């Protein structure tokens, strides 16, 4: 197993290194003639107004929240899914219970209107 | 020194330094990004422990979900306290002393522990099987109850935080 | 081991013997071979992307009744190479107020997060990268790194539109991750492992036969994860200028471009591996190299399907997209998993035909029920159609009959 | 091979850094990040102990504990951040000391 992880680690490093190297080479080849107009923040040709840190609507957070809860719960089901062929019917019933609890959360968010974008 | 030890040391250095940066950097978003790096380092530590499932879950849950949620929250609350004002309490120096004392105490108490130097052999295929964990989680005499309780905990967290965070439309009008 | 039947392991074997005969230690040789393999796969994938870009533009052109690239070389085949040469010599513009490290790290990370998936893909029976026992979760987790790259880009650029685009993109990606993760439980259940090798080996009958609904959900989700039409809201030009990569120029932009095209192909590969049986096909036991060919053919078919969808379907509105995910796909995925688990437990695995039949019927029922429910919902809450004055059409004979009636 | 105490030292260090952050940070989000770091330190310890002392016995309590900590961390992040956002909306502040509406 450690060997598999070693390969994965090497692969990740290479996967980071190749685009980085390409960027560096291009950086050497490319011209460097900055000027204030060119370097100004793009805003459809208008003068930049205010800081870039606009306020966000809370809906982003709500989606992130529901995603977080679902993600954690489903990831916990993966060991169960691996053992699926060995578990008895009881295990499946447990899955149903688990999913039902999860689904009731989704239902709550739905009824609350938290799933609407606007 | 073997290759494994070298990898461990590098990962540990990354974890510790980025954790330090994440508790000391002034801008919250930088703190969050350093936090992500620390989490990735911890995932490498898990991989060295041969608990692949947890290494991947660490990336999936912490980096993919919790860190993103923290970044979202930082964006939502970023007008307050950003780049100006003190980021730390007055008690920084005092805290440093306390924390160092705690660390020294931990190290001291560890020193006398007999199993400190214990080593371990690589895990067998049987122990690597994630299915064993799955069976244990669903067996009625195993951890079936804690497993279900976690889902209730998450349900409570979901309902509670939606209730707290969601803008009530009636109120606004 | 025969070179013609199975070239890659033959070469690996030969290299190992050669290096060992030079007196290198075994660990070192293994590491070196891993390094060579990783470099070859990464470079190969990156170079392959140039071909993909050409193919996609050409096919897209045909879909839209254009010629596509046709100037550089026969059929414009060298177009993307010319583009690549050009983009290499373009200036990097560093706008004011950028956060240097995130800004430069983002394009690298975006490509790396896509490339990293290739580390676990089994290309044929004997050619595979890392066979970790959590392959499926690894693929999803790496997707999380891609989201991180988008956040870095949006936040590093010091631009309102970039930040808005990044957050929309991340909201979309994380939302569509949910049904994807749920549905991937099904292949894991059938094969009893999360390793991609075991999953492919378990697919003597591809999982698409056992779980068509799961397969469709996964397909939709992977298109959404690519950010391709109909889910291309992240770069909806009319609303967000260009999305999170607005401030990037030169090859830094090119990297996002590469990541985008490579991601589409990669998700076709992942789809093939998980649902279409990867390298499985007639005769692979005797001639393993056939597996690679089967894999390529299946992947290209899936990729073509993705292109067809991309070039024909109009874009969703963001609320529609979120509603599709949270109100349709997620509940559907949950129901599919539960029902599949129940039915599959009830039927002994030896009775293959009955098992497949039952699963198919169940899937069909789920699909029809979902369809029925959506129809009923739509009837109760009809879509509000915004109509305006009909504008003159260049070729009025293409107006459909209904439109003609309203026009009169 | 790596001896067990390397992991323990790393975890102790990470825990102390997290503790430092929890006490000194003014921003509530920063406090939350620090708490997550402390939970990670606990996870490293649990998995290292399981791996070195219990992996031969077939005892899975270490792993199950880690799973529960993952869930707790997720729940904590969700609720904590929701409360921070809610407090921010009402009081325009994320400084933990100033959020004191629960005080009598």
Each residue's pLDDT expressed in tens, for chain C with a length of 408 residues: 577 777 888 888 888 888 888 888 888 888 888 899 899 999 999 888 888 889 888 998 888 888 888 888 888 888 888 988 888 888 888 888 888 889 999 999 999 999 999 999 998 888 888 888 888 999 999 988 889 999 998 888 887 778 888 888 888 899 999 999 999 999 999 998 888 998 999 888 899 998 999 999 999 999 999 888 788 877 665 555 667 888 888 889 889 888 989 999 999 999 999 999 888 888 888 888 888 889 999 999 999 999 999 888 888 888 888 889 999 999 999 999 999 999 988 888 778 888 889 899 999 999 999 999 999 988 888 877 777 776 666 666 666 665 666 655
Q: Do C188 and C259 belong together in one domain?
A: yes
- Cβ separation B81–D27 shorter than 8 A: yes
- The per-residue pLDDT for B90 is 67
Please report whether residue B98 resides in a domain: no
**Do C52 and C261 contact (CB within 8 A), yes or no?**
yes
Q: Regarding predicted confidence, which is higher, C339 or A3?
A: C339
Question: What's CA C91's distance to the chain center, in Å?
Answer: 31
Q: Decide if pLDDT at A24 tops 70.
A: yes
Q: Which residues of A touch D81 (CB under 8 A)?
A: 61, 65
Structure tokens at D86: 């809610």
Chain A residues near any Cβ of chain D (below 8 Å): 58, 61, 65, 68-69, 72, 76
- The per-residue pLDDT for C11 is 85
Please report whether residue B90 resides in a domain: no
User: What domain range is A61 assigned to?
Assistant: 2-112
List all residues of chain D from 44 to 83 with a beta carbon under 8 Å from chain B: 44, 47-48, 50-53, 55, 60, 63-64, 66-68, 70-79, 81-83
Please report whether residue A60 resides in a domain: yes
Does residue D35 sit at the B interface (CB-CB below 8 Å)?
Answer: no
Q: Do C111 and C76 belong together in one domain?
A: no
- Cβ separation B53–A79 shorter than 8 A: yes
Distance from the Cα of A22 to chain C's closest Cα (Å) equals: 8
Q: Could you give the CA distance from residue C319 to residue C171 in angstroms, rounded to a whole number? A: 12
- Cβ separation C141–B56 shorter than 8 A: yes
**The total number of structural domains that make up chain A:** 1
Q: Do C82 and C98 belong together in one domain?
A: no
Please report whether residue B140 resides in a domain: yes
Q: Do B135 and B75 belong together in one domain?
A: no
- The per-residue pLDDT for A4 is 86
Q: Do C47 and C120 belong together in one domain?
A: no
Of the pLDDT bands very low, low, confident and very high (cuts 50, 70, 90), residue B170 is very low
Q: At B92, which helix (H) or strand (E)?
A: helix B92-111
Q: Which of A7, A19, A67 sits opposite C178 (nearest CB)?
A: A67
- B88 has which bridge partners? D25
Q: Decide if pLDDT at B119 tops 80.
A: no
For the segment A84-94, the average pLDDT, to the nearest whole number, is 86
Q: Which of B52, B67, B71 sits opposite C134 (nearest CB)?
A: B52
Please report whether residue A10 resides in a domain: yes
Q: Decide if pLDDT at B123 tops 90.
A: no
Q: The domain that contains B5 carries what CATH number? A: 1.20.120.1200
Helix (H), strand (E), coil (C) string for chain C: CCCCCCHHHHHHHHHHHHHHHCCCCHHHHHHHHHHHHHHHHHHHHHHHHHHHHHHHHHHHHHHCCCCCCCCCCHHHCCHHHHHHHHHHCCCCCCCCCCCHHHHHHHHHHHHHHHHHHHHCCECCCCCECCCCCCHHHHHHHHHHHHHHHHHHHHHHCCCHHHHHHHHHHHHHHHHHHHHHHHHCHHHHHHHCCCCHHHHHHCCCCCHHHHCHHHHHHHHHHHHHHHCCCCCHHHHCHHHHCCHHHCCCCHHHHHHHHHHHHHHHHHHHHHHHHHHCCCCCCCCCCCCCHHHHHHHHHHHHHHHHHHHHHHHHCCCCCHHHHHHHHHHHHHHHHHHHHHHHHHHHHHCCCCCHHHHHHHHHHHHHHHHHHHHHHHHHHHHHCCCCCCCCCCCCCCCHHHCCHHHHHHHC
Q: The domain that contains A51 carries what CATH number? A: 1.20.58.1610
- The per-residue pLDDT for C396 is 65
> Closest residue of D to B52, CA-based?
D47
Does residue B72 sit at the A interface (CB-CB below 8 Å)?
Answer: yes
Q: Do C266 and C128 belong together in one domain?
A: yes
Q: Do B76 and B133 belong together in one domain?
A: no
Please report whether residue C304 resides in a domain: yes
- The per-residue pLDDT for C273 is 92
Please report whether residue A107 resides in a domain: yes
- Cβ separation A71–B165 shorter than 8 A: no
Please report whether residue A56 resides in a domain: yes
Largest Cα–Cα distance of chain A, in whole Å?
A: 70
- Cβ separation B64–C140 shorter than 8 A: yes
Q: Which residues of D touch A58 (CB under 8 A)?
A: 85, 89
User: What domain range is C20 assigned to?
Assistant: 1-88
- The per-residue pLDDT for A34 is 81
**Do C136 and C117 contact (CB within 8 A), yes or no?**
no
User: What domain range is B161 assigned to?
Assistant: 127-173
Mean model confidence pLDDT for chain B: 83
- Cβ separation B51–D47 shorter than 8 A: yes
Please report whether residue C253 resides in a domain: yes
Please report whether residue B15 resides in a domain: yes
Structure tokens at C54: 């050409």
Comparing C237-251, D50-64, D83-97, the range with the smallest average pLDDT is: C237-251
Q: Do B3 and B79 belong together in one domain?
A: yes
**Do B27 and B82 contact (CB within 8 A), yes or no?**
yes
Does residue B66 sit at the D interface (CB-CB below 8 Å)?
Answer: yes
Q: Could you give the CA distance from residue A5 to residue A18 in angstroms, rounded to a whole number? A: 20
Q: Could you give the CA distance from residue B78 to residue B91 in angstroms, rounded to a whole number? A: 24
Q: Do C116 and C203 belong together in one domain?
A: yes
- Cβ separation B158–A66 shorter than 8 A: yes
**The total number of structural domains that make up chain C:** 2
Examine the fold and report which residue of B53, B83, B113 is the final residue of a domain before the chain moves on: B83
Q: Which residues contact D81 (CB under 8 A, 6 or more apart)?
A: A61, A65, B69, B70, B72, B73, B161, B165, D29, D32
Q: Decide if pLDDT at A53 tops 60.
A: no
> Closest residue of D to A67, CA-based?
D78
Mean model confidence pLDDT for chain D: 86
Q: Do C179 and C287 belong together in one domain?
A: yes
Examine the fold and report which residue of C323, C344, C372 is the final residue of a domain before the chain moves on: C323
Q: Do C69 and C115 belong together in one domain?
A: no
Q: Which of A61, A71, A109 sits opposite B76 (nearest CB)?
A: A61
- The per-residue pLDDT for C401 is 60
**Percent of chain B having pLDDT more than 90?**
36
Nearest alpha-carbon partner for C205 in C360, C92, C49: C360
Q: Which residues of C touch A77 (CB under 8 A)?
A: 185
Q: Decide if pLDDT at B173 tops 50.
A: no
Please report whether residue C19 resides in a domain: yes
Whole-complex ipTM: 0.89
Q: Do C111 and C154 belong together in one domain?
A: yes
Q: Do C74 and C215 belong together in one domain?
A: no
Q: Which domains does chain D have, with CATH numbers?
A: 4-93 (1.10.287.3510)
Q: Which residues of A touch C39 (CB under 8 A)?
A: 14, 18
Q: Do C82 and C108 belong together in one domain?
A: no
**What torsion, rounded to 10 degrees, do the Cα atoms C219, C222, C224, C230 define?**
-50
Mean model confidence pLDDT for chain A: 84
pLDDT tens, B36-88?
A: 999 999 999 999 988 889 999 999 999 989 999 998 888 877 665 555 556 66
Does residue D30 sit at the B interface (CB-CB below 8 Å)?
Answer: yes
Contact present, A and B (at least 3 Cβ pairs less than 8 Å) = yes
pLDDT tens, D22-54?
A: 988 888 888 999 999 999 999 999 999 998 888
Does residue B123 sit at the A interface (CB-CB below 8 Å)?
Answer: yes
Q: Could you give the CA distance from residue C97 to residue C157 in angstroms, rounded to a whole number? A: 8
Q: Which of D74, D85, D89 sits opposite A69 (nearest CB)?
A: D74
Q: Could you give the CA distance from residue C235 to residue C318 in angstroms, rounded to a whole number? A: 12
Does residue A56 sit at the C interface (CB-CB below 8 Å)?
Answer: yes
- Cβ separation C93–A12 shorter than 8 A: no
Does residue B138 sit at the D interface (CB-CB below 8 Å)?
Answer: no
- The per-residue pLDDT for A21 is 92
Please report whether residue C329 resides in a domain: no
Q: Do C171 and C108 belong together in one domain?
A: yes
Please report whether residue B158 resides in a domain: yes
**The total number of structural domains that make up chain B:** 2
Q: Could you give the CA distance from residue C145 to residue C165 in angstroms, rounded to a whole number? A: 17
Whole-number Cα distances in Å, C346 to A76, A86, C259, C314: 24, 13, 44, 42
Does residue A107 sit at the B interface (CB-CB below 8 Å)?
Answer: no
């Amino acid at each position: 197993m450690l060997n598999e992880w070693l390969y994965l680690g090497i692969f990740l490093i290479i996967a980071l290194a190749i685009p980085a190297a390409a960027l560096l080479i291009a950086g050497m080849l490319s011209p460097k003639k900055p000027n204030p107009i060119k370097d100004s923040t793009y805003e459809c040709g208008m003068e930049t107004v205010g800081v870039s840190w606009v306020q966000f609507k809370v809906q982003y957070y709500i989606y992130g929240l529901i995603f977080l809860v679902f993600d954690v719960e489903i990831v916990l089901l993966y060991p169960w899914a691996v053992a699926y062929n060995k578990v008895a019917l009881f295990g499946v019933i447990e899955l149903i219970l688990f999913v039902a609890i999860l689904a009731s959360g989704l239902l709550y968010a739905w009824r609350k209107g938290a799933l609407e974008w606007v | 020194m073997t290759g494994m030890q070298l990898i461990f040391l590098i990962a540990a250095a990354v974890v510790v330094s980025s954790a330090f940066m994440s508790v000391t950097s002034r801008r919250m978003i930088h703190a969050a990004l350093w936090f992500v790096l620390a989490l990735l380092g911890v995932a490498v530590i898990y991989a060295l422990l041969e608990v692949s499932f947890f290494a991947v879950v660490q990336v999936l849950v912490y980096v993919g979900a919790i860190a993103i949620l923290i970044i979202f929250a930082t964006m939502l609350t970023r007008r307050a306290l950003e780049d100006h004002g003190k980021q730390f309490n007055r008690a920084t120096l005092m805290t440093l002393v306390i924390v160092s004392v705690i660390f020294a105490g931990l190290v001291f108490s560890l020193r006398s522990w007999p199993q400190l130097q214990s080593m371990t052999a690589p895990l067998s295929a049987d122990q690597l099987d994630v299915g064993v964990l799955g069976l244990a989680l669903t067996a009625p005499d195993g951890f079936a109850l804690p497993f279900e309780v976690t889902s209730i905990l998450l349900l409570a967290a979901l309902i509670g935080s939606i209730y707290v965070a969601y803008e009530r439309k009636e109120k606004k009008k | 081991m025969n070179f013609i039947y199975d070239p890659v392991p033959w070469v690996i074997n030969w290299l190992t013997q050669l290096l060992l005969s030079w007196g290198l230690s075994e660990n070192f040789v293994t590491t070196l071979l891993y390094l060579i393999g990783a470099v070859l796969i990464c470079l190969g994938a990156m170079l392959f992307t140039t071909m993909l870009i050409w193919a996609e533009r050409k096919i897209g052109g045909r879909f839209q009744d254009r010629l596509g690239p046709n100037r550089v070389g026969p059929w414009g085949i060298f177009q993307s190479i010319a583009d690549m040469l050009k983009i290499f010599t373009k200036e990097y513009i560093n706008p004011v107020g950028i956060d240097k490290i995130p800004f430069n790290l983002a394009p690298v990370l975006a490509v790396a997060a896509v490339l990293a998936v290739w580390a676990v893909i089994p290309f044929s029976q004997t050619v595979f990268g890392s066979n970790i026992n959590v392959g499926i979760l690894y693929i999803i987790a790496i997707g999380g790194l891609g989201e991180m790259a988008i956040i870095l880009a949006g936040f590093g650029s010091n631009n309102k539109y970039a930040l808005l685009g990044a957050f929309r993109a991340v909201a979309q990606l994380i939302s569509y991750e949910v049904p994807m993760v749920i549905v991937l439980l099904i292949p894991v259940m059938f094969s009893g492992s999360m390793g991609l090798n075991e999953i492919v080996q378990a697919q003597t009958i591809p999982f698409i036969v056992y779980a068509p609904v799961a397969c469709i959900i996964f397909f939709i989700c992977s298109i959404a994860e690519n950010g391709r039409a109909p889910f291309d809201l992240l770069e909806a030009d009319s609303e967000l200028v260009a999305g999170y990569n607005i401030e990037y120029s030169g090859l830094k932009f090119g990297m996002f471009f590469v990541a985008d095209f490579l991601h589409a192909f990669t998700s076709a590969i992942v789809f093939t591996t998980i649902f279409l049986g990867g390298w499985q096909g007639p005769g692979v036991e005797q001639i393993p190299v056939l597996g690679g060919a089967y894999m390529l053919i299946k992947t290209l078919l899936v990729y073509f399907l993705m292109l067809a969808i991309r070039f024909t379907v109009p874009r969703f509105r963001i609320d529609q997209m979120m509603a599709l995910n949270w109100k349709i796909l997620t509940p559907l995925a949950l129901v599919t998993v539960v029902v599949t688990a129940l039915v599959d437990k009830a039927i002994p695995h030896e009775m293959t035909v009955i098992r497949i039949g039952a699963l198919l019927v169940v899937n069909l029922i789920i699909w029809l029920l979902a369809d029925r429910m959506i129809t009923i919902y739509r009837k109760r809450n009809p879509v509000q159609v915004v109509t305006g004055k009909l504008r003159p059409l260049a070729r009025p004979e293409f107006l459909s009959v209904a439109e003609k009636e309203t026009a009169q | 091979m790596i001896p067990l105490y390397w992991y323990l030292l790393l975890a102790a260090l990470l825990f102390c850094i997290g503790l430092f952050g929890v006490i000194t940070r003014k921003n509530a989000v920063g406090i939350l990040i620090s708490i997550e770091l402390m939970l990670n330190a606990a996870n490293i310890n649990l998995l290292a102990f399981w791996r070195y002392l219990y992996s031969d016995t077939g005892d899975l309590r270490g792993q199950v504990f880690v799973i529960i900590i993952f869930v707790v961390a997720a729940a904590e992040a969700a609720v904590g951040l929701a409360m921070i956002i809610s407090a921010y909306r009402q009081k325009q502040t994320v400084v933990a000391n100033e959020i004191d509406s629960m005080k009598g």
